Structure 1
Amino acid sequence: MSDTQGPSGPEPEPGPPSSAGPAGLSGDMDYRQGAVDLLGVLAYGALTAFERLAEDARMAPSLADKVYVATMAAHQIEHFARVRDRLAELNADVMVAMEPFHAPFDAFHEYTAPKDWYESLLKAYVGDGFAADFYREVAAFVDPDTRALVHEVLADEGHGEFVVEQVRSAIAEDPAKAGRLALWGRRLVGEALTQAQRVAANRDALTSLLTGTVDRPGMDLAAISRMFSRLIENHTKRMAKLGLQA
């Protein structure tokens, strides 16, 4: 997923104190693999975001919009390079780290292909925003260097305001768009949840960052429930900012 999302909302619950070594991770191999998986998700997300934003630029209604979205696409390559370099510091290859996430990401994008400019804007703001919030939650349990990078590449660089302005203006001109886009937003978050569950089911090391291990605490069921409440709350705020019902 990309970094084109709205406000991040409440901060994730803090993870356990890090016992990071010189490379930024402890000697726990499951812990290290979980961090590598998280970075692999971000790397493939940035790569696919570049492709999507470049395609979205072709649907832009004005030359200024086209330039703006194309610039956002270029930023994704910068993010990919930073994540790739961090993986190299951890002696991990970016191509290998990305490979487990090809299928779930590609399925998500196949099921949520936008039909027009406004659906593409919502996908970047709502769908990617939901995923980014989830990755921030996971990042609370990795080493400080990796956590800082995750937050940096997921930071809203102004794209959220651009999307809100575009969508609200469109609804003001044609109120009938609101119902269709609200349904689209609900579909996006539903597909994002399905994708997150699929990734979690297939990547035990990534899931263990949240749930913990014998010697490294994580979230209990109550904390996980609060996490999902925060994700839904953030989604509702994004939809409200767009002038849409969640």
Structure 2
Amino acid sequence: MRVKPVFGRRSGDRSQDDAAPASAPKPATSLGDLLVPVDALVARAAYLELLLFQELSAIVNEAPALANKQHIGAAANAALERHRALLGGAEAAAEQASITRIGEAAEHFSGYPERVLGHDWAQRLLSCHLSSGFFRDFFGEVAEQGGERYRTALAPVFITDAERDQLLPVIEAAIHYEDGLGDRLAMWGRRIVGDTVLAIRLALDVPLGTSGDDLIPDGEAQLEKLASVLYAGHSRRMNTLGLAA
């Protein structure tokens, strides 16, 4: 099945002098040609890790078992450490600059946290697991296409297998012990993926209703290719939990 264009278009700022003649062959492009500056992407990654820390810290109070609280608390602490590492530790002299960068990053995701919040602790925990995986895959593609500077700056995002699986036993146990929860979470997982794709578009400065073709030749094809990769990762995470994607 062909994936529909999901990243939309944005208004181009190229002058007519930059446009190639209609008869000229289009140059080869890649996702790297669409990337925003590395500092901006790092700030956005740091903001998302801060959101994850805040949400997991809140869920700890709602989790019904001590073992659940331990897993969730460990995942929250790991997210906070990634946030700090992305900002270079935020030493005192740079603290205000870091706050400013995070504030600017937050503007790119306005409304997103509320749309994927969830209505109970299980939905909220699944949102954390799925959305963080979605963004991790996104930044992985960015690091692959952006070159050494992007790979180095975004390195804290790429967590170990042990960190990646910290929330799985909690979600799996909840599904096992509560009748009907699996079906409800499957619906929720399908519900939040659309909003997460929109947030990915905002992370690349591609507003709703505009095309990557306005930025570079075949830009929309690059965005569709990225969307396919991210959807595949989302499906794998859903299937691991026994939830139909």
- Tell me if both proteins adopt one fold, taking TM over 0.5 as the criterion: yes
Query: Using the alignment, how far apart are the partners of 2:149 and 2:200 within structure 1?
Result: 24
One-letter amino acid of the structure 1 residue matched with residue 243 of structure 2: L
Query: Using the alignment, how far apart are the partners of 1:174 and 1:70 within structure 2?
Result: 22
Query: Using the alignment, how far apart are the partners of 1:43 and 1:95 within structure 2?
Result: 11
Question: In 2 relative to 1, CA 227–83 (structure 1 residues): closer, same or farther, beyond 3 Å?
Answer: same
Q: Deviations over 1:52-93 (max 9, x none)?
A: 1110111111123213322322222322222112899xx993
**Partners of 2:46 and 2:87 within 8 A in 1:** yes
Q: Which moved more, 1:235-244 or 1:64-73?
A: 64-73
- Partner of residue 134, structure 1: 138
Pairs within 5 Å for 1:91-110: 93-110=97-114
- Partner of residue 52, structure 1: 55
**Partners of 1:126 and 1:238 within 8 A in 2:** yes
Question: Which consecutive unaligned segments of at least 5 residues does structure 1 have?
Answer: 1-13, 17-29
Q: Secondary structure at the match of 2:146?
A: coil
- Partner of residue 238, structure 2: 239
Tell me by how many angstroms 1:170 deviates.
2.9
Query: Using the alignment, how far apart are the partners of 1:148 and 1:201 within structure 2?
Result: 22
**Partners of 2:56 and 2:125 within 8 A in 1:** no
Question: In 2 relative to 1, CA 145–104 (structure 1 residues): closer, same or farther, beyond 3 Å?
Answer: closer
Q: Percent identity?
A: 24
Question: In 2 relative to 1, CA 53–171 (structure 1 residues): closer, same or farther, beyond 3 Å?
Answer: closer
One-letter amino acid of the structure 2 residue matched with residue 232 of structure 1: Y
Question: Which consecutive unaligned segments of at least 5 residues does structure 2 have?
Answer: 1-29
Pairs within 5 Å for 1:1-246: 34-85=37-88, 93-156=97-160, 158-201=162-205, 220-246=219-245
Tell me by how many angstroms 1:232 deviates.
0.8
Q: Which has the larger radius of gyration?
A: 2
One-letter amino acid of the structure 2 residue matched with residue 41 of structure 1: R
One-letter amino acid of the structure 2 residue matched with residue 137 of structure 1: E
Question: In 2 relative to 1, CA 238–66 (structure 1 residues): closer, same or farther, beyond 3 Å?
Answer: same
Q: Which moved more, 1:151-160 or 1:127-136?
A: 151-160
Q: Secondary structure at the match of 2:197?
A: helix
Query: Using the alignment, how far apart are the partners of 1:234 and 1:49 within structure 2?
Result: 19
- In the comparison of the two structures, how many residue pairs are matched? 211
Tell me by how many angstroms 1:141 deviates.
3.6
Q: Deviations over 1:144-172 (max 9, x none)?
A: 25414424323245244343333333333
Tell me by how many angstroms 1:235 deviates.
0.7
Q: Deviations over 1:162-195 (max 9, x none)?
A: 4333333333334411221011101221110122
Question: In 2 relative to 1, CA 144–165 (structure 1 residues): closer, same or farther, beyond 3 Å?
Answer: same
